[in-house]
Amino acid sequence: MLLPLLIMGQATDIESKLKDYLSHYNADVGIAAQYFTNGETIIVNDDSCYPMQSVYKFPLAMALLHQVDQGRFSFDQEIEVKRSELLPDTWSPLREKYGMKDIRIKLKEIIEYTITFSDNNGCDILFRLLGGTAEVEQYVKNLGVENMNIVATEEEMHADWTIQFSNCSQPYAMLKLLEIFYSGKVLSEKSHKFLWEIMAVKKFGMKRIQGKLPESFVVAHKTGTSGTNDEGIAAATNDAGIVVTPENNAFGIVVYVSNSADEIEVREEIIADVSKMIWEEFSAK
Active-site positions read 54, 154
Cβ(149)–Cβ(121) below 8 Å = no
97/243 Cα distance (integer angstroms): 31
177/183 Cα distance (integer angstroms): 10
Closest CA to 255 of 2, 22, 97: 22
What is each CA distance from 114 to 25, 184, 228, 273, 284, in whole angstroms? 31, 21, 22, 27, 36
Cβ(256)–Cβ(236) below 8 Å = yes
Helices within the chain (DSSP H only): 12-22, 57-69, 93-98, 107-116, 120-130, 133-142, 154-159, 171-183, 189-199, 264-284
Query: What burial letters (b/e) apply to 67-83, b meaning 16+ CB within 10 Å?
Result: bbbeeebeeeeebebee
String of DSSP letters for 130-154: HTSHHHHHHHHHHTT--SEE----H
Cβ(80)–Cβ(104) below 8 Å = yes
Q: What does the longest C-alpha to C-alpha distance in the chain come to?
A: 56
